[in-house]
Structure 1
Amino acid sequence: MQQDGQERTEAELQEGLGTFQGLSPAEAVAVLALLEEHKEPLLSHSVAFTEHLDRELRELEEANLRAILSSEQQLAQLMGTLDEALAEVGRLEETLQVCEELLGAVRQQMDHIHQESSLLQRLASNRSRLMDELLLLTSQLQLSREHCAALSRADLSSPAAIAACTAAAQALSSCMDLPIHPCYRKLQAVAEQLILFETLKQNFESSFISHITNIFELQGNSQAPALDAPIGTVAAPSHRPQHEELLPYTPLMAWLRSTSPALFWDLPKVYSQHLGRLYEREIRALFEQAKISLSGRRKGSLQESREKPAGSRQPRWGLPRSRDGQEDTPARGSMPGVLEQVLSELQPLCTSEQQFLQEFFCLGCGSVELEGSATKAGEPTAAPEDPPRTKSQSQSEEATTQLLSEIFSCLEPELRAFLDVCSKVQPLGCLQVLVTLSDSVLGTWGPCSAPPSSFLHTLLGNVLLLAKSNFNKCIGTLCKEMEEAKPASRTRGGILPCVSRFQELVALSEEMFQTSQRRGELDRAQLRLASSIFSSISSLSSANLKVNVDMVMMENFHHIHTFLCQRNIPCLEGRKGEAKRRCREHMEKYITTCVGQPLERLKHFFEGVKARLAQGVKEEELSFQLAYSKQELRKVIEKYPGKEVKRALESLYRTIHKHLSPEGNLLPVVWQTMEQGFIRQYQEFEELIQRCYAGAGIALDFTMEDLLSYFNSITM
């Protein structure tokens, strides 16, 4: 029995453990708070603590029961209120059901009304559209009798008639461009009307093209002015009357371009063919006038001058001393002035024609494409990534350039030929041509310059490249002639001809470039000329000279240095310093050579003395050598008395004066340097006598005071 009791106790314990439920966090906090409130040891007072808890539990249950008994009346009131609310809800449901039945009938009536309204709106819309289509066919597809008559007559003889035809053509285009449904074209009336429009359009196009082509032909066959203008006058006729005659047709040209592009793009070709002949005659006449102005002769004499042999032309080195020397006849014009006048006449001629083409043929709007057009070599094309506006503008410029190239096909060859004539009119004419073209291309003439985007500007740019090439060839030829130039047989010194020519070339080129803003080509040319003249002077030999080579080089380098100092040319500053240095070097060599001439035997004697001393002979033993004994020295000194020395110095002065040119004013400098060198030589002789022949009583026949008096008397 005891064992059974233990088993039951364990079973109840296991059951109690199985039903155990853990405390929640809130309950655990409450238990901890309760334990904290009763801090006495719970194990020793557990019975009292249990009784305390039971007592509190009973108090709580009593409080709960009293609360429940006190709230029973409130619950009864709440239940009554809920019953009343449920009854009210029942009544509302009944009312809503009645309203829904009524609204169902109204909804049916409104749906019926909406259907009838939609039908009425569709009927009104169909009537409106039908009325619009009828108006389109009856009024907008109708061309007035006045317009039909104007297109049928195609009278383009007066401004008023042209305006009437323009208005009629635009009205016809408006009728033909109406958006007509393809089904309407099957209607007989509509088809007849469209056939009438097409007939009027084709007949008017044919009449207009024939009329405008006749105008092109008449303008192209007009005569160029005769060459009876006064010599010195270079003028190109204005095409303003021709342009004013054609400009009223510009709206009709725009109409033709929009309606029949194939017919339209034939007209620029016809225009370029006919007007090209007129421009060819006028341009040739213009250049003939310019050539006559350059030569001062009429056409016959000009032809004779062309047929003269090359030997009769002015030699290359015949450079003028001034600009006035260029005018060999009273009627002959200045080449720069004539060239500038020609370019100033070409500028309005080409610019006005370019503006007219862009306006008359509508080449400045929309995409343009001439048949057979191709990009010329060297002209930039629009890149694929360019925006549409840039591409359109580039196509317009290409089309305009192509037309101008056809119209002015003879301009570039005639201009090149005229520039060749200008290059031969005066020395360095190719330089003047280069200056004038550069000023024109760079826009330094102001309004007379060609606009950067013009056809003439591009043409002048191409010709400018040729002018640069010709100028470089000319400078190359001049440099070669300078380098290969040889002085005349047995030249007696002075300024060499090639030096004078170099100075004249530089002076002339500087005069030509006074007003130019671009000196790059000139600076390179002057450097090449300077290098050639320096090379030519340095290559001189004594074969063709009757005087000392160093003297000639000294004088010519001094002349170049003086000239460059006067001119103050920045690009030749280096050459100026080199000329000064070379002049000083050759002057020292010349002085060294000439100083010993008055005392030549003394010079040779003491040179031998210095050579022996250099070989190691002692100064006190030198006088015992036979060739340099005291007796030999006295013999040499006896040959140079004071009078002979003075006479020799006077002869040397006359020789230097004779060979030096007066332009360089170099005689005082050379003679002063000569005096200093002679004094140094005299002092050297005296020193050697004192060192090697001391106590022998040997001395030169003249003293330092005598020598200074000789030079003073010669200078005076």
Structure 2
Amino acid sequence: MITTTQPVSARIWMVKSEKENSFSKKEHYALRDIRSVDGINPRKPLPDFNLTIKGQLYQLYSNTSEEKEFFIRQLFKFSNDNLPIQKPEFVNVSLPVDTLPSKNGSVNEENFDGDSKTAAELDTNYQPISLKEENDFRHLLEKANLQIGQARQFSSSLNDQLSQLDSANLSSIMENEQNVAELIGLIDTAIELAECVEKQLDVYDTLLSFVRDSVELIEEKDSLRHIEQQNNKKLATELEDFVYQLEMSELNSMQAYHSRIEMLNKITSEFVDRFYAHISTIFGNMDSMLENQHIGEIIMQKHSQRHRALLPFSDLISWLKQTRPNIYKNVLDRYNIEAQKLYKKEFDRFFSELATREASSLTNNNWKNSSNNLINEQNIELIETAVAECRVVVESEQKFCIRFFHLNTDVISQLDSEFNNKNVALKRLSDEQMNQIENSFSKISITKRQRIGILDTIGRFGSLAKSSIKIFAESERKVDLDKWLEKLTIAIIIGIDNAAESPNSKCPASVVRMENFHAFYSILSELKIPCLDARRKEVRQKYQENVTIYVREMLGRPLEKIHNFFERIERLMENGISPQEISYEQQFSRIELKRVTTAYPAKEVKKGLENLYKKIEKHLSSNDSSLLQVVWRQMQEEFLNQVKHYQQLISKCYLGSKIELEVGIEDILQFFSEIAQKH
């Protein structure tokens, strides 16, 4: 605030915010009391700054960085205008700034009653016109034939001329209306282009703002790097001076010094020997430091108590590593030997408990009658328990060894490398095992003549798939497992085909394929593995194709005479004889038709179907009744299609003869149903 009275006085007020956006004056200071203004960081737009008034530091905050800069600029201007001496010091601010214009050494006056006057209103000095302005004025009077005293006439003349010029201007505008419209269009286009340029400039400005921030950050880092280099140089110089001052080359040759050093070395050697003997004894008694554990628990022994007992010697081990590397290596070897004995005993106990638990669980579940799924789940549980317990013990021992023996990262990286090598070897071993399984699935050999039935490879695949999916469901090798499952699926399909074509098989090839593809399709449907959906559809198609082949092979021509009779009729019709002329042929007369149809009474047809059902039961070795039902239903459909075809030919070639087969559609359906229920 600047006073309006003379002499001019500038003050800065501290105000306090009240309710309803009102403020109350708290305290004020003279402008000359301000000692310094600190903008904190000129490169970053921060809203906070510091004022030092009468030796006291005030930390102030503005709403935005722009408000802070405006306040500092105004403070700088007022200081230049009102303080000839004892101006405040401005640090960490963007300078120079524009100063307020001053007139005759005075400042702008501002009252707080709301009334203000401009500089033009305050200036009452008279300024006469120039000589050129006077000559121009007289020239206008002469042109209008008027005198200086005729001001009213001169004003009227000027108004008339102005009206004429306005009329001429309007006429010109009306005449050039089209040009004006074009000009306005060009102006609008120019405005649009200018807006596009402004938008592009805004984009560039945004990009440059990021560049500016990056440059400021680089400058800041570079400044810190220079400071670090200077500090390092100064530190190196100081260390060189200090080491130079510590050099005692002349004192080292003194007899007292040598004798003292020998005595200290002897004491150190004695201490090292005693410490090595003591720590070796402790390592030998590590089994007594373990926590108590109940017999029969399937958990690894906790070694935290042993680790806590040994950790107080960690500093001495570090001292040995630096001063006596050979003794340190001996201590490390001694610990390895004793720890190996301790963990061997513990692992033997742990895996013995696992084996005992596995045997008892199999006995309780009557493993001879239990399913493979239950056994596999129990085995997976035991494996997960063993891996989890061993992992906890190994991680705990590794952390202890790193801390106790002060092992560096090279040793840990070597262990990680060894672990990765073991993983690669294990993956290679798994791939070899899967290759062997794949070969055993695809290369099916039948050594002697026998009924093949359901191949054991199908059941082995189901057990392997279920257990492996449960184990590797969340593993990183899930992708590899999916690939191997697809390979094994293809191998089983190849194995089924090889078994079906074996010369030692007693069953038809279609029966072997039908049974095995049906069983394999059931297992794939039960597993519901997404990566095997395409193979599952392929197996289902092969199963249906072989069912059709088997039905046609077994059913054949149950009404052979009727079939041969109508086959010859179809051959005549293909040669161009119409259906109405067929009955006039002697060998295809109605009498011959009657003789052929009566050759297969209902009793004989039913007996033939019963024999056919028994053959199917004999061929199908599995106890799956669903497959038998599917085959029998397919037989029924095939037989019905043949009978319907014969009836169509009779109605077409022997119209009105009223000759029918001895068995109809209803009879056939009844025969098939009774035979299925009977068996």
Q: TM tier, shorter chain?
A: 0.5 to 0.7
Pick from 670, 676, 679 the counterpart of residue 631 of structure 2: 670
Distance change (3 Å), C-alpha of 1:269 and 1:347: farther
- C-alpha displacement of 1:649: 1.4
1:466-486 superposed Cα distances (whole Å, 9 cap, x missing partner) = 333333322222221121124
* Partners of 1:559 and 1:664 within 8 A in 2: no
CA distance in 1, matches of 2:463, 2:438: 14
Pick from 392, 397, 409 the counterpart of residue 397 of structure 1: 409
| Residue identity matched to 2:277 | N
When the two structures are aligned, how many residues end up with a matched partner? 434
| Residue identity matched to 1:557 | F
1:457-501 superposed Cα distances (whole Å, 9 cap, x missing partner) = x76554444333333322222221121124685555753333333
Pick from 550, 554, 572 the counterpart of residue 510 of structure 2: 550
Aligned to 2:333: 273
| Residue identity matched to 2:628 | L
* Partners of 1:236 and 1:282 within 8 A in 2: no
Pick from 368, 384, 398 the counterpart of residue 354 of structure 1: 398
| Residue identity matched to 1:598 | P
CA distance in 1, matches of 2:137, 2:387: 119
Pick from 273, 288, 291 the counterpart of residue 210 of structure 1: 273
* Partners of 1:219 and 1:275 within 8 A in 2: no
1:639 aligns with 2:599: yes
Aligned to 1:321: 371
Pick from 482, 495, 500 the counterpart of residue 441 of structure 2: 482
Distance change (3 Å), C-alpha of 1:272 and 1:255: closer
* Partners of 1:216 and 1:274 within 8 A in 2: no
1:124-157 superposed Cα distances (whole Å, 9 cap, x missing partner) = xxxxxxxxxxxxxxxxxxxxxxxxxxxxxxxxxx
Aligned to 2:106: none
Aligned to 2:14: none
- C-alpha displacement of 1:565: 3.1
Aligned to 1:541: 501
SS at match of 1:598: coil
- C-alpha displacement of 1:621: 5.8
1:667-699 superposed Cα distances (whole Å, 9 cap, x missing partner) = 333323322221221011122233345577754
Distance change (3 Å), C-alpha of 1:593 and 1:605: farther
* Partners of 2:332 and 2:405 within 8 A in 1: no
CA distance in 1, matches of 2:494, 2:587: 45
Alignment of 1:36-115 (within 5 A): none
* Partners of 1:243 and 1:356 within 8 A in 2: yes
| Residue identity matched to 1:505 | L
Alignment of 1:541-620 (within 5 A): 541=501, 543-614=503-574, 616=576, 618-619=578-579
1:685 aligns with 2:646: yes
Distance change (3 Å), C-alpha of 1:507 and 1:488: farther
Distance change (3 Å), C-alpha of 1:507 and 1:703: same
- C-alpha displacement of 1:398: 1.2
Pick from 611, 615, 631 the counterpart of residue 655 of structure 1: 615
- C-alpha displacement of 1:279: 3.5
Distance change (3 Å), C-alpha of 1:702 and 1:37: closer
* Partners of 1:233 and 1:289 within 8 A in 2: no
SS at match of 1:666: helix
* Partners of 2:317 and 2:328 within 8 A in 1: no
Judging by fraction of residues, say which structure has more helix.
1
Judging by fraction of residues, say which structure has more strand.
2
Pick from 489, 504, 512 the counterpart of residue 530 of structure 1: 489
CA distance in 1, matches of 2:274, 2:349: 35
1:277-307 superposed Cα distances (whole Å, 9 cap, x missing partner) = 233434444554466556669xxxxxxxxxx
| Residue identity matched to 1:500 | G
CA distance in 2, matches of 1:30, 1:39: 15
1:181 aligns with 2:245: yes
Larger Rg: 1
CA distance in 2, matches of 1:250, 1:355: 13
SS at match of 2:245: coil
Distance change (3 Å), C-alpha of 1:243 and 1:704: closer
1:505-559 superposed Cα distances (whole Å, 9 cap, x missing partner) = 3344455567879743443333222222222223423744444433443333333
Distance change (3 Å), C-alpha of 1:194 and 1:349: farther
Aligned to 1:471: 430
Alignment of 1:181-330 (within 5 A): 181=245, 186=250, 195=258, 198-199=261-262, 201-215=264-278, 217-218=280-281, 243=307, 246-255=310-319, 261=322, 263-289=323-349, 292=352, 321-322=371-372
- C-alpha displacement of 1:245: 5.6
* Partners of 2:300 and 2:350 within 8 A in 1: no
* Partners of 1:216 and 1:270 within 8 A in 2: no
1:705 aligns with 2:666: yes
CA distance in 2, matches of 1:399, 1:245: 24
CA distance in 2, matches of 1:40, 1:466: 116
Identity across the alignment (%): 27
CA distance in 2, matches of 1:545, 1:359: 69
Structure 2, unpaired ranges of 5+: 1-129, 143-240, 358-367
Aligned to 1:451: none
* Partners of 2:602 and 2:663 within 8 A in 1: yes
Higher relative contact order (CA 8 A, sep 6+): 1
* Partners of 1:357 and 1:400 within 8 A in 2: no
Normalising by the residue count of structure 1, what TM-score does the alignment of the two structures yield?
0.50
Distance change (3 Å), C-alpha of 1:477 and 1:709: same
* Partners of 1:620 and 1:692 within 8 A in 2: yes
Distance change (3 Å), C-alpha of 1:255 and 1:36: same
CA distance in 2, matches of 1:498, 1:319: 20
Distance change (3 Å), C-alpha of 1:324 and 1:576: closer
- C-alpha displacement of 1:705: 3.3
CA distance in 1, matches of 2:247, 2:423: 65
1:320-351 superposed Cα distances (whole Å, 9 cap, x missing partner) = 73366689xxxxxx655654555455445433
Distance change (3 Å), C-alpha of 1:633 and 1:222: farther
* Partners of 1:565 and 1:576 within 8 A in 2: yes
CA distance in 2, matches of 1:221, 1:284: 14
Pick from 439, 454, 465 the counterpart of residue 495 of structure 1: 454
SS at match of 1:495: coil
* Partners of 1:494 and 1:555 within 8 A in 2: yes
1:543-586 superposed Cα distances (whole Å, 9 cap, x missing partner) = 44444433443333333333333333333333333333332222
* Partners of 1:494 and 1:552 within 8 A in 2: yes
Distance change (3 Å), C-alpha of 1:480 and 1:612: farther
* Partners of 2:320 and 2:327 within 8 A in 1: no
Please provide the CA RMSD for this pair.
4.8
Normalising by the residue count of structure 2, what TM-score does the alignment of the two structures yield?
0.52
- C-alpha displacement of 1:665: 1.5
Aligned to 1:506: 465
| Residue identity matched to 1:689 | I
| Residue identity matched to 2:311 | L
Distance change (3 Å), C-alpha of 1:256 and 1:544: closer
* Partners of 2:452 and 2:505 within 8 A in 1: yes
